Chain A
Amino acid sequence: MDKRIKLEIKLPLVKDIELVAIEGLELMGRHLQIAEEKIGEARILITEGIINAIEHSENTTPFIDVHFIMNIDALVIIITDYGKGFDPSSVENPEIDKKLSSNYKRGWGLKLMREMSDEFKIDSSEKGTKITITKNLR
């Protein structure tokens, strides 16, 4: 039997809506008895991915799509927006000592997603951005 469970939601572009996705993640994790630590890290991945999609994309639809596919080994997170897209290679890698003296203290989301995940892929064009994140759960 395939023990994969899935969640597919359309999230409106509303403040703190990432908490709805996190709630789903936690319930799925509990169902499959995933370690609390792994769920905690997945929480960061989901939060940062959703906030970027809502905050930066200039989305042309009133929603973004969020998909989770989970089994006891891994979680795949797919976050899709329908905005303007961006070129990830042009994003500077943040460094704490530089940020301390800079006016822009932000710019951490992509780094956190990259380092907290096991695979991280960005597909972006002028039609929008899809990020696919894999997090091993064992």
Chain B
Amino acid sequence: MRLDFNLTSNIENNVLVIKTEGYINNDGGEKISKEFEEHFTKGINKVLIDIKSSKVINSIGISYLIEIIEKLNEKNGSLYFCNMDSTIEKTFNIMGLFQFAKKVDSVNEIE
């Protein structure tokens, strides 16, 4: 059921790819942040969030993503999103998130 948040991650071409599933609320955001930190401290500075299986997100969850962007910026890194549902894309657009994060079709697009 959509209540449960889950993620899986792997590294492809030096990019941390995080696939999310379920509601990105406070807990979801925290889990993404934790996964990010674990790799960020080891030098990863490119992160792709595959958000396909998350249909619901809230502003608290998003605040964790903004924190990730801030940390990546400091290390000349970037946050990328793929498989975004149109509502989430519109939400990020309203917030101006794409000034600091990028949309891609897949990990292969990331240099």
Contact = CB atoms under 8 A, between A and B. Distances in A.
Interface of A: 16, 18-19, 22, 37, 40-41, 43-44, 47-48, 51, 94-97, 99-101, 105-106, 108-109, 111-112, 115-116
A22 B56 contact: yes
Contact of A112 (B64, B86, B91): B91
Interface string B16-37: 0000000101000000000000
Given A16-B23, A96-B96, A106 B59 contact: yes
Contact of A19 (B2, B69, B87): B2
Interface of B: 2-3, 23, 25, 55-60, 62-64, 66-67, 69-70, 73, 85-87, 90-91, 94-97, 99-100
13 contacts: A16-B23, A19-B23, A19-B56, A22-B56, A43-B55, A44-B91, A48-B58, A96-B66, A99-B66, A100-B69, A108-B59, A112-B95, A115-B94
Nearest to A114: B94
A115 B94 CA distance: 7
Given A40-B85, A44-B91, A105-B66, A96 B100 contact: yes
Contacts of B73: 100
B97 A109 contact: no
Contacts of A16: 3, 23, 25
A106 B60 contact: yes
A40 B87 contact: yes
B108 to A, nearest CB: 27
A51 B58 contact: yes
B85 A108 contact: no
Given A40-B86, A108-B62, A19 B3 contact: yes
Contacts of B60: 51, 106
B54 to A, nearest CB: 12
Given A99-B66, A100-B70, A105-B67, A43 B56 contact: yes
A48 B96 contact: no
Contacts of B87: 37, 40-41, 43-44
Task: Report, nearest first, the 6 A-B pairs whose CB atoms are least far apart.
Answer: A40-B87, A96-B96, A105-B63, A105-B66, A108-B59, A106-B63
A62 B25 CA distance: 22
Contacts of B90: 41, 116
